[in-house]
């Protein structure tokens, strides 16, 4: 049995920690933020269901197996929202596999949704774990006996010793903890982009589904999706990344006004939000770039091992570069 410190309570860190716990290892999870889930952030506000980050799971066996083991299989169902493209003639329904423009395919394979929101998954993973919220790691260093993780708690700085530290976060953040880490190939291929979402709770009733807006449209929006609820609709609007970059430092109200103004130029027309929320993502890749999350769960060992994660580079542990898998996984 090894003592493992997992840094980051996003879906990658939690699935990894959960998997290690199942195998009998002693695990603790440090999370700098005040809440679990990282880029998985379901939130219901005044009856409006908002998915403030990821919305779907890849339907790969590794995910289905994880959902079964967590007792969540019955909450999952295929996610096939009606999909529309906004063109000069208005909204046109499209099928999975259709492309908006050459090279812009719509869907990335079968997807699953989770009733009650995807945070059910991160909460279920966290349930048996020791997760220390508000504890941010500052550095990770290794020696012949293992690793030292220096971290900040609300009551001051501390250091914990472990056999392995797992850095479960985007590479750009992991490198700040252990500068000698070699970049995983994906981090090189996909530089971090800024990404922004505006969520509106509206009483107007819109067509449920996803709308994609081709980049040539001249609008600042990449698309929106509509989830109906008893109160009306939860409208999730994605800004183009260059627009998110431009608005980055502006107050949330400016983001909301901008989005409402842009929507007026679409078939949504005028909306008068009851609720508005803004999410800024520093190290995001647009979700249309592929099932990152599924890859991360697979890589971090929901069904596999730390070895898989090490080979993917998402688990960036033991600064000296020793092979961790022999020490962690039986």
Provide the total of helices (H) and of strands (E) in the chain, helices listed first.
10, 19
Q: In angstroms, what is the minimal distance from the CB of 296 to ligand FAD? A: 5
- How far apart CA 144 and CA 322 sit, in angstroms, is 10
Q: In angstroms, what is the minimal distance from the CB of 142 to ligand FAD? A: 17
Among 63, 85, 137, 147, binds ligand FAD (CB under 6 A): 137
Q: Is 296 in the site for ligand FAD (CB under 6 A)?
A: yes
Residue count, binding to ligand FAD (CB under 6 A): 36
Which residues, 6+ apart, have CB-to-CB distance to 199 below 8 Å? 48, 50, 52, 234, 235, 236, 237, 275, 276, 277, 278, 279
Q: Is 195 in the site for ligand FAD (CB under 6 A)?
A: yes
Q: Is 13 in the site for ligand FAD (CB under 6 A)?
A: yes
Structural contact between residues 289 and 4, judged by C-beta atoms closer than 8 angstroms:
no
Q: Is 31 in the site for ligand FAD (CB under 6 A)?
A: yes
Q: Is 316 in the site for ligand FAD (CB under 6 A)?
A: no
CB atoms within 10 A of CB 286: 14
**Nearer to ligand FAD (CB atom), residue 9 or residue 306:** 9
Q: Is 8 in the site for ligand FAD (CB under 6 A)?
A: yes
Token pair for 308: 């898989």
Q: In angstroms, what is the minimal distance from the CB of 311 to ligand FAD? A: 16
Among 197, 213, 219, 302, binds ligand FAD (CB under 6 A): 197
Which residues, 6+ apart, have CB-to-CB distance to 209 below 8 Å? 81, 82, 83, 84, 225, 226
Per the document, the length of the chain is 330
**Nearer to ligand FAD (CB atom), residue 157 or residue 272:** 157
Question: What order of strands is seen across the sheet that includes strand 76-78?
Answer: 57-58, 111-114, 76-78
Q: Which residues bind ligand FAD (CB under 6 A)?
A: 7-13, 30-33, 38-40, 53-56, 58, 136-137, 168-170, 173, 177, 195, 197, 281, 284, 287, 291-294, 296
């Amino acid at each position: 049995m090894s003592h493992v410190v997992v840094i980051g309570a996003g879906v990658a860190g939690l699935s990894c920690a959960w998997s290690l716990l199942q195998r009998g290892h002693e695990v603790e999870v440090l999370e700098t933020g005040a809440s679990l889930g990282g880029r998985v952030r379901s939130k219901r506000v005044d009856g409006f269901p908002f998915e403030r980050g990821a919305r779907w799971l890849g339907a790969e066996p590794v995910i289905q197996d994880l959902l079964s083991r967590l007792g969540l299989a019955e909450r999952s169902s295929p996610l096939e929202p009606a999909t529309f493209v906004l063109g000069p003639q208005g909204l046109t329904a499209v099928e999975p596999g259709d492309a908006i423009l050459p090279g812009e395919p719509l869907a990335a394979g079968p997807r699953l949704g989770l009733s009650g929101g995807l945070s059910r998954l991160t909460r279920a993973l966290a349930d048996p774990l020791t997760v220390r919220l508000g504890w941010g790691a500052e550095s990770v260093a290794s020696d012949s006996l293992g690793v030292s993780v220096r971290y900040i708690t609300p009551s001051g700085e501390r250091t914990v010793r472990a056999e392995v530290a797992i850095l479960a976060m985007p590479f750009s953040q992991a490198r700040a903890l252990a500068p000698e880490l070699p970049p995983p190939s994906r981090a090189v291929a996909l530089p971090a982009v800024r990404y922004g979402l505006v969520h509106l709770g509206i009483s107007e009733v819109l067509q449920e589904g996803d709308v994609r807006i081709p980049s040539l449209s001249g609008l600042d929006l990449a698309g929106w999706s509509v989830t109906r609820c008893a109160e009306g609709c939860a409208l999730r609007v994605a800004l183009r990344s260059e627009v998110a970059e431009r608005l980055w430092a502006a107050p949330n109200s400016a983001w909301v006004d901008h989005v409402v103004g842009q929507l007026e130029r679409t078939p949504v027309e005028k909306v008068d939000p009851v609720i508005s929320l803004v999410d800024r993502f520093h190290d995001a890749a647009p979700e249309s770039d592929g099932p990152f999350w599924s890859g991360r769960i697979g890589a971090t060992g929901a069904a596999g091992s730390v070895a898989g994660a090490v080979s993917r580079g998402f688990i960036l542990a033991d600064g000296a570069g020793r092979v961790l898998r022999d020490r962690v996984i039986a």
